Amino acid sequence: MSLTLHGYWRSSAAYRVRLALALKGLSHTSVAHDLRTGAQRAADYRALQPQGLVPVLEGPDGPLIQSPAILEWVEERYPDPPLLPGDSAGRAVVRAMAAIVACDIHPINNLRVLTMLRQDMGADEAATTRWIGHWVTEGFAALETQIERHGAGYAYGDMPTLADCHILPQVYNAQRFAVDLSPFPLLVAAAQRLRERVPEASPEVQGDAA
Amino acid sequence: MSLTLHGYWRSSAAYRVRLALALKGLSHTSVAHDLRTGAQRAADYRALQPQGLVPVLEGPDGPLIQSPAILEWVEERYPDPPLLPGDSAGRAVVRAMAAIVACDIHPINNLRVLTMLRQDMGADEAATTRWIGHWVTEGFAALETQIERHGAGYAYGDMPTLADCHILPQVYNAQRFAVDLSPFPLLVAAAQRLRERVPEASPEVQGDAA
């Protein structure tokens, strides 16, 4: 069963999927779509993903969209090693951590929103940077509290979960925009641990990395 | 096993949880937090939800946060009637539809983001309305395509799923902001069908409705 991941080296949603695949030991073929030139809005790609967003994972169940849904699918189809805890309470905690990134940080700061801020709201670079820092800091503060309660090296316990697959790409993003991460030592340490565990998933080693 | 839902009548994330509980035939106690006065930022509430956001569902596994995680928990603990399809491909489609709302429409348009737009970006009402309409229209267009492929009365098939639990509250929101929904007839019809199926979940019949 071959897997093909449509992504972009710097897309943090595609990075989540690369991390999960790497943790599961699953190889995949990569197809790069350059978001800077709008390649993901081409009609043939939109036939796979009607929003014109990355990632798409093509596999035995056809093309799958939306990284949170893709990660649940990967977990269901390739359960070993597990990226969700064995108990319902633990799964709810991990999924909530993932959702803090997937719903409350990332979408507000991604390229299409920043473009709209600049073009329609007239935001300058200072305002955009302040905007990004605000949402990252709010979300990471909540995550740091959760990791303090539930983490033991990783965000939840001592093995990587879907929470870590969301957190590391968001840390990567935050560092690009020079957000001060010093208030979130547990979160940063968990991200670094995952980065070192599966270096093959990192943005800078992807084939399309500039 | 009693369930307590912390919410606000107009919160669309809380509305999602009310819909799932109603579809499962689960009763719950409601605790209202008035988002307009910032009640959800009080210290005792933040002990439950470190982000100071609604909803929180308190139940046998303790306080659960983030509606997508709460809905998965409800589905796991109370599987009947199911709100996810029985096959992995179907589940991936439903979860992706839910994520289009939960990640790509709702968070960009919620109260805290609109407040930041107004206060920090100097957005006036026209700009804010344009902003909301833009993200709703983009997301709903993708959903309409997906419903055309997979729906049969509801968003996926002929019974409500977690996708519908996300879509109806977003339609409610869009109508509040007078977004033109005429390009999305299948989506609007599915939402209306769910609204009539579980009227007890509707915002206007909640105890704190103004």
Q: What local confidence, expressed as pLDDT, does residue B136 receive?
A: 98
Q: What local confidence, expressed as pLDDT, does residue B94 receive?
A: 98
- Helices B88-104 and B67-77: crossing angle in degrees, nearest 10, is 150
Convert the pLDDT of each residue in A117-131 to its tens digit. 999 888 999 999 999
Mutate to test the interface with B, among A41, A49, A53, A66 (most CBs of B within 10 A): A66
Which of A73, A103, A127 is opposite residue B68, by nearest beta carbon? A103
Q: What local confidence, expressed as pLDDT, does residue A39 receive?
A: 84
User: Contact at 8 Å (CB) between B103 and B95?
Assistant: no
Q: What CATH number matches the domain at A4-81, 3.40.1710.10, 3.40.30.10, 3.30.930.10, 3.30.499.10?
A: 3.40.30.10
**Between A185 and A37, residue with greater pLDDT:** A185
Write down the domain spans for chain A: 4-81, 88-197
Does B129 have pLDDT greater than 80? Answer: yes
Does A45 have pLDDT greater than 80? Answer: yes
> How many CB atoms sit inside 10 A of residue B66's CB?
29
Q: What local confidence, expressed as pLDDT, does residue B209 receive?
A: 95
Please name the helix (run of DSSP H) or strand (run of DSSP E) that holds residue B65, with its range, or none: strand B62-65
Share the mean pLDDT of chain A.
Answer: 96
Tokens 């993932």 -> residue: A98
Which of B65, B88, B104 is opposite residue A51, by nearest beta carbon? B104
Question: What fold does the segment set B88-197 form as a domain?
Answer: Glutathione S-transferase Yfyf (Class Pi); Chain A, domain 2 (1.20.1050)
Q: What local confidence, expressed as pLDDT, does residue B120 receive?
A: 87
Contact check, Cβ <8 Å, B73/A88? yes
Does A185 have pLDDT greater than 90? Answer: yes
Report the pLDDT averaged over residues B167-187.
97
Report the pLDDT averaged over residues B16-24.
98
CA geometry: angle B173, B179, B181, nearest 5 deg: 100
Q: What local confidence, expressed as pLDDT, does residue B79 receive?
A: 98
Q: What local confidence, expressed as pLDDT, does residue B210 receive?
A: 81
Q: What local confidence, expressed as pLDDT, does residue A52 receive?
A: 93
**ipTM of the prediction:** 0.97
Share the mean pLDDT of chain B.
Answer: 96
Lowest mean per-residue pLDDT among A35-44, B54-63, B123-132: A35-44
Q: Which residues of A touch B89 (CB under 8 A)?
A: 61-62
Convert the pLDDT of each residue in A67-105 to its tens digit. 999 999 999 999 999 999 999 999 999 999 999 999 999
Q: Which residues of B touch A74 (CB under 8 A)?
A: none
Contact check, Cβ <8 Å, A50/B96? no
Does B39 have pLDDT greater than 90? Answer: no
Q: Which residues of B touch A83 (CB under 8 A)?
A: none
User: Residue A88: what are its φ and ψ, rounded to 5°?
Assistant: -65, -35
Does A1 have pLDDT greater than 80? Answer: no
Convert the pLDDT of each residue in A157-180 to its tens digit. 999 999 999 999 999 999 999 999
Convert the pLDDT of each residue in A14-44 to its tens digit. 999 999 999 999 999 999 999 888 888 889 9
CA B202 to chain A, closest CA, distance in angstroms equals: 23
Q: How confident is the model at residue B200 (pLDDT cuts 50, 70, 90)?
A: very high
Write down how long chain B is.
Answer: 210
Q: How confident is the model at residue B36 (pLDDT cuts 50, 70, 90)?
A: confident
Provide the CA A31 distance to its chain's centre, in angstroms: 17
Does B86 have pLDDT greater than 90? Answer: yes
Superfamily of domain B4-81+199-205: Glutaredoxin (3.40.30.10)
Q: What local confidence, expressed as pLDDT, does residue A100 receive?
A: 98
User: Contact at 8 Å (CB) between B99 and B93?
Assistant: no
Report the pLDDT averaged over residues B134-142.
97
